[in-house]
Amino acid sequence: MRTLITMAALGGAVLIAACGAETDPDAEAPAVAAKLAEELPPIEVREGDGLPATLPAGLIWETNDEDPTFASPDAQRGGTYRTYMLSFPLTLRRVGPDSNGFIAPYLRYNQLGPVTYHPQTRRPIPSLATHWAFGADGRSIYYRLNPKARWSDGVPVTADDFVFAVQFNRSKAIVAPWYNNYYTERIRDVKRYDDYTIGIQGADAKPVAEMHYQYGIGPQPRHFHMLNDTWVQDNNWTIEPNTGPYQIGKVEKGKYIEWHRVEGWWADDLKYFRHRFNPDKIRLRVIREPNVAFQHFLKGEIDSFDLTRPKRWHEKATGEAFDAGYIVKYWFYNALPVPSSGMYLNTADPLLADRNIRYGLAHAMNFERVIDTVLRGDYERLPTFQLGFGAYDNRDIRAREFDLEKAAEHFAQAGFVERGADGILAKDGQRLSLRVTYGRPDDTERLVILQEDAKKAGVELTLQLLDAVLSFKQMQEKKHQIAWMGWASSGLSPRYWEHFHSANANKTQTNNLANYGDPLMDELIMQFRASADLDQRVALAHRLERMVHDAGVVIPSFQVPYTREGAWRWMKLPAWLGTRASGQLFNSQALSAGLFSSGGLFWIDAQEKERTLAAKDEGVQFEPSTVLNTDYRGG
């Protein structure tokens, strides 16, 4: 759910609408005007909820134009950025059935929210809104919209579009239960105060720093949507107006989708959007096999390619195009929330209920060896459960290291002293044998190394590889002993309730994979959730993270705190390559990870392209080049 929450909150609740491609433009204008003139029905508000009828007095309006910019003034406009997707989407809708395909990020991130977060300072910066203020109840937020904001079809973005967003997302017509629920349970009220002023009320109070992330919903083009029983079918291939820099321009079903830069994009001159989103077009073509796509990249038919995985970086990304310097390799360390990957020990299991066994197990796992060998020293050991949230990180915690003596000591305390004939520890006939459930075949080679070295400590690991969906299902049903998996991380602060609160222990379909519960921890988690004070939250997070470590229910595995990409010479980046929050360098979208506004920094140098192609034809070589940037390593 983590990922989903992010998308909804920031990408806004926008939908895809039917663009009038076949409609006569003259006929459409009055229709839009008539639709805009309609009165919207009021939003249903529960008892105890609801925003004041008039804008409260004494609101302190804030904005942010003092943070540094992060795009390069050298950027050139123009060109086509060519990339690929593995399959053609089943729909161009942004919500509803089958809408979670390869193009979903492109659609979502071209629908702006009222604010986004600055990728360097992590502070809010204006987007559709210019100013914001917080209500006294701690759960409402007010926005002043930028009157210049326009939908891609030229219609102004107004307060009504935000009100409509709630009605839209609560509607059964869109067949999107998750959105229905979110906009009912989390978003309690949205009010229009004038054309360009709105208020949003959420379910509970949140720290000020996270209010936008939690409740800053995006608008929905109300002039475009007709909510009825056939909305889903009607909108499968319509193009919804959006507020971002790119709009779908050309579609050939099964082959490609081309995004075109919106002409005279309303936000071009906003401080934090200047010199960004430079290519005129983004062309996503269908290439069904990553290895085939890589061949296209080598030929220069794709402009950039992800090379993060060790095998790609070290083995595949070699050869002529690299040696001759036509393709440049980039290795960029970022500071994004790290996925919480590792072993989740099910404490409902009689063996793993003993903390000594859990500690012993952690000391019996030779992650260092896996990193040094099959991972080629490229990955890093993840020191603790959650990391990458700035001040919230508890950087004093170190993961338990591979140490056979310590492992033996802990196992001995649990009564496992004698080794059986096969070298595995046993107590009263029970062998120290544990099952690891996992869902990615590629992880087998990591696990077999852990498995072999665990034998030295007298532990037997049996490996259960399941289909990805089935393995997750089994974990959610808490049928595992050890779950080998990773939670995607996002947001501004770590999460504890879903993973460690006893309310989620020993229940199916929850994320508490350790089935762990501790009264003191429960109390601190609830305090953490309720607190709106940043310092207090940070202190609590540090303490909770330490408690997770002390409980020993998670053995953190690896982190990849960087992105590695290859790009043809003509693909240019700022001298600083990217930002703290750049998940990818060659990211053409407005937002990265649905939260920080870090994308669209690159540009295409037309002259360089000509030069490179000519050099390639003539066999002229450049210096091979690998650019390493460690500015944000370790935070």
Partner 1 sequence: MLSPLAVKQWRRFRSIRRGYWSALILTATIVLSLGAELLVNSRALVVFYQGELFFPTYGAFLPGTTFGLDYDFETDYRDLKRVFAQRGEGDWVLLPPVAFNALENDLKTDSYPPYSPSLRSGHYLGTDSTGRDVLARLVYGFRTAMAFSFVLLAFNYAIGIATGCAMGFWGGAFDLLFQRLIEILNNVPTLYVIMIVASVVVPNFWTLLAVMVLLGWTQMTWYMRTSTYKEKSREYVVAARALGATSVRMIGSHILPNAISVIVTFIPFSVAGGVTLLTALDYLGFGLPPPTPSWGEMLSQGTSHLESPWIVTSVVAAMVVVLLMVTYVGEAIREAFDPKQFTYYE
Per CB under 8 A, the segment of 53-61, 84-92, 369-377, 517-525 that binds partner 1 is 369-377
Residue from 38, 44, 452, 550 touching partner 1 (CB under 8 A): that is: 452
Given a contact cutoff of 8 angstroms between Cβ atoms, the answer to whether 387 and 396 are in contact is no
Contact between 418 and partner 1 (CB under 8 A)? Answer: no
Contact between 512 and partner 1 (CB under 8 A)? Answer: no
For partner 1, the binding residues in 128-187 under the rule CB under 8 A are: none
Contact between 455 and partner 1 (CB under 8 A)? Answer: yes
Nearest approach in angstroms of CB 454 to partner 1 is 10
Contact between 458 and partner 1 (CB under 8 A)? Answer: yes
Taking the C-alpha atoms of residue 513 and residue 101, their distance in angstroms, rounded to an integer, is 27
In the bound state with partner 1, the residue whose beta carbon lies nearer, of 127 and 437, is 437
Strands 562-568 and 304-306: antiparallel
Residue 514, C-beta contacts closer than 8 angstroms, at least 6 positions apart:
344, 345, 346, 347, 499, 500, 505, 551, 553, 554
Contact between 444 and partner 1 (CB under 8 A)? Answer: yes
Would you state the structure tokens that stand for residue 298, as one six-digit string?
């080598």
In the bound state with partner 1, the residue whose beta carbon lies nearer, of 401 and 467, is 467
> At CA 452, angle to CA 447 and CA 457, rounded to 5?
115
For partner 1, the binding residues in 178-217 under the rule CB under 8 A are: none
What is the DSSP track for 298-334? HHTSSSEEE--SHHIIIIIS-SHHHHTTSEEEEEEE-
Residue 366, C-beta contacts closer than 8 angstroms, at least 6 positions apart:
402, 449, 450, 453, 454
In the bound state with partner 1, the residue whose beta carbon lies nearer, of 2 and 456, is 456
Strands 80-85 and 281-286: parallel
For partner 1, the binding residues in 469-498 under the rule CB under 8 A are: 470, 474
In the bound state with partner 1, the residue whose beta carbon lies nearer, of 281 and 456, is 456
Given a contact cutoff of 8 angstroms between Cβ atoms, the answer to whether 106 and 122 are in contact is no
Nearest approach in angstroms of CB 464 to partner 1 is 5
Contact between 435 and partner 1 (CB under 8 A)? Answer: yes
Contact between 374 and partner 1 (CB under 8 A)? Answer: yes
User: In what helix (H) or strand (E) does residue 83 lie, and over which residues does it extend?
Assistant: strand 80-85
Residue from 36, 466, 534, 539 touching partner 1 (CB under 8 A): that is: 466
Nearest approach in angstroms of CB 404 to partner 1 is 7
Nearest approach in angstroms of CB 577 to partner 1 is 27
Q: Look at phi and psi of residue 200 and say left if phi exceeds 0, alpha if psi is from -120 to 50, else beta.
A: beta
Specify the amino acid at residue 579: T
Per CB under 8 A, the segment of 34-42, 275-283, 371-379, 549-557 that binds partner 1 is 371-379
Spatial CA neighbour of 355 closest among 543, 516, 545:
516
Contact between 295 and partner 1 (CB under 8 A)? Answer: no
In the bound state with partner 1, the residue whose beta carbon lies nearer, of 422 and 523, is 422
Residue from 71, 173, 361, 457 touching partner 1 (CB under 8 A): that is: 457
Taking the C-alpha atoms of residue 138 and residue 206, their distance in angstroms, rounded to an integer, is 7
Given a contact cutoff of 8 angstroms between Cβ atoms, the answer to whether 595 and 583 are in contact is no
Contact between 547 and partner 1 (CB under 8 A)? Answer: no
Spatial CA neighbour of 603 closest among 625, 577, 573:
573
Nearest approach in angstroms of CB 627 to partner 1 is 23
In the bound state with partner 1, the residue whose beta carbon lies nearer, of 186 and 316, is 316
Residue from 62, 137, 195, 372 touching partner 1 (CB under 8 A): that is: 372
Contact between 432 and partner 1 (CB under 8 A)? Answer: no
Nearest approach in angstroms of CB 421 to partner 1 is 4
For partner 1, the binding residues in 330-349 under the rule CB under 8 A are: none
Per CB under 8 A, the segment of 218-226, 449-457, 496-504, 513-521 that binds partner 1 is 449-457
In the bound state with partner 1, the residue whose beta carbon lies nearer, of 219 and 458, is 458
Contact between 315 and partner 1 (CB under 8 A)? Answer: yes
Lay out the sheet containing 340-345: strands in order across: 460-465, 433-438, 482-487, 340-345, 554-556
Nearest approach in angstroms of CB 167 to partner 1 is 42
Range list of β-strands (E), 166-320: 187-194, 197-202, 246-252, 256-261, 281-286, 304-306
Residue from 348, 448, 526, 539 touching partner 1 (CB under 8 A): that is: 448
Q: In this structure, what are the phi and psi dihedrals at residue 4, rounded to the nearest 5 degrees?
A: -60, -40
Nearest approach in angstroms of CB 486 to partner 1 is 19
Applying CB under 8 A, the site for partner 1 has a residue count of 35
Residue from 77, 123, 250, 376 touching partner 1 (CB under 8 A): that is: 376
Per CB under 8 A, the segment of 212-220, 415-423, 527-535, 553-561 that binds partner 1 is 415-423
What is the DSSP track for 114-162? SEEE-TTT--EEESSEEEEEE-TTSSEEEEEE-TT-B-TTSPBP-HHHH
Taking the C-alpha atoms of residue 553 and residue 547, their distance in angstroms, rounded to an integer, is 10
Contact between 413 and partner 1 (CB under 8 A)? Answer: no
Nearest approach in angstroms of CB 450 to partner 1 is 10
In the bound state with partner 1, the residue whose beta carbon lies nearer, of 62 and 315, is 315
In the bound state with partner 1, the residue whose beta carbon lies nearer, of 451 and 588, is 451
Nearest approach in angstroms of CB 437 to partner 1 is 9
Q: Long-range contacts of range 280-283, CB-CB < 8 Å, 24 or more positions apart?
A: 280/77, 280/78, 280/79, 280/80, 281/79, 281/80, 281/81, 281/249, 282/80, 282/81, 282/83, 282/106, 282/246, 282/258, 282/588, 283/80, 283/81, 283/82, 283/83, 283/256, 283/257, 283/258, 283/259
Taking the C-alpha atoms of residue 532 and residue 202, their distance in angstroms, rounded to an integer, is 14
* Binding site residues, partner 1, CB under 8 A: 314-315, 369, 372-374, 376, 404, 408, 419-423, 435, 441, 444-445, 447-449, 451-452, 455-458, 462-467, 470, 474
